[in-house]
Structures are given as C-alpha cells and as structure tokens.
Structure 1
Amino acid sequence: MKKSILLMTITTITLTGFISGCSRDYTPTAEATGEDIFKGACMECHDAIEGKENIFYELTADNKNIEFFSKKISGGSLLMPKFPNITADKLKAVSQYALDHSADK
C-alpha cells in the first residue's frame, strides 16, 4: 500500500513538472512566423523524431490537418497545456508549420 502511494506521488510530481515545462503563457510577437512560434512554444517538449530530420510528429491520416494542430494548441490535452495567447493567423501559421513537419504514421 505504501509503495502504491509513493509511486502515485512520484508519478503526479513528474507529470506536473513535465506539463509545466511547456510554457502556456507564451505570446508570439507580431512578426513571428510559424517556425518562430514552434521554436518558442513547442520545442521545449517536442524534438525531431530520431532519424527523421525536421519531422516532429507521425500522424494518422485523420489527424494530418491544420484543424488537428489548431485544436491541440489552443485547447491542450492530457499531457499538453493549452496556449491561449496563440490565436488567429499565428495559430494558423504554427499549425501549418507543425503539419509541414509531420510524417505519415
């Protein structure tokens, strides 16, 4: 029982640290490109896939679209915080950059 509680505590602390490592307060500058935004907001947590230069994601056909990235960036998910300050044309730009650097799963 004590081991289970200790394991759950360590897991919670680790996940909290991981999630907070990605900045949700990031705000792109007016001049920021999709690449600039990706480097500033996403690369803290998302590295290129090993052996695939400049490919950050492997996606199924259903998820390989701008809407998938836009929803994920603005709404977050279980392990990813939302980025409410990336909006409109900046959201589209970073979503397109992420899509352009994705491969088929």
Structure 2
Amino acid sequence: MKKITLLLAVSALASVVGCSKSDNYTPPENASGEDIFYANCTKCHKPETAGSVMTLSSATANKDAIIQKIHTGSMSMPAFPNIKGEQAQRLAEFILANSRTK
C-alpha cells in the first residue's frame, strides 16, 4: 500500500512540476487560438469530454480574465509572457467558445 501511495505522490508531483513558473513559448504570428491551445496548453489542460476544452469559473469566463491568467499564471499554471496582442485575443476567444462555465 505504501508503494502505491508513493507512486501516486511522485506521479502527481511530476505533473505539477511541468506546469509552474514561466513558460517562454512563443506562438507563430499567424497562429489561431486553436493552434496555440493544442500546441502548448494541452501540456497541462487536457480537453474534456462533451466537446469542451476546459471548465471555467464564472469569474474567469471572459476574455480579459483569461488573458490576465495567460500573462500572470496562477498557483500551478505558468505565466506565458510571449502570448500577447492578437495571439492572446485569439487564444482567449478559442477558450471561451470551446469551454463550459460552472
């Protein structure tokens, strides 16, 4: 039982380590929001069933909040300072159009 618990703890830690601090990913200038999401965001955000890419809280279900989170990150999400301008707008629009709100 201790081995299983240790294995689960190590697996959880490994998945969180990949999703922290800052990420220097820079999307191609003409990348669509969908391209950016699937090229980089799916490292941590696995698309959900029923056709949605993620579930947003009511506080984050708007473009400004999504762009803010992209730029600053959060507890386990890295900041993406190189996703800005039109690219950030396209990514936020894709996320909003393809997510559900809880």
TM-score by length of 2: 0.77
Give runs of aligned pairs for residues 26-65 of structure 1, distance below 5 A. Answer: 26-49=25-48, 51-53=49-51, 55-65=52-62
Aligned-partner SS, 1:79:
coil
State whether residues 23 and 41 of structure 1, in contact with CA within 8 Å, keep that contact through their aligned partners in structure 2. no
Give runs of aligned pairs for residues 90-101 of structure 1, distance below 5 A. Answer: 90-101=87-98
Aligned-partner SS, 1:61:
coil
How many residue pairs end up in the alignment?
93
Would you say 1:102 and 2:91 are equivalent positions? no
How far apart, in 2, do the equivalents of 1:59 and 1:37 lie?
18
How far apart, in 2, do the equivalents of 1:62 and 1:35 lie?
22
Compute the RMSD of aligned alpha carbons: 2.5
Once the two structures are superposed, residues 58-94 of structure 1 have per-residue CA deviations (whole angstroms, 9 ceiling, x without a partner) of 2233321101110111110010000011111111110
- The CA deviation at 1:37 is 0.8
2:78 to 78, 81, 85: 81
TM-score by length of 1: 0.75
How far apart, in 2, do the equivalents of 1:91 and 1:74 lie?
9
Aligned-partner SS, 1:85:
coil
- Larger-Rg structure: 1
Would you say 1:66 and 2:48 are equivalent positions? no
Task: Letter of the 2:69 partner, please give it.
Answer: K
- The CA deviation at 1:17 is 2.1
Once the two structures are superposed, residues 26-65 of structure 1 have per-residue CA deviations (whole angstroms, 9 ceiling, x without a partner) of 101112111111111201111112x322x12222333211
Aligned-partner SS, 1:63:
coil
Look up the match of 2:17.
17
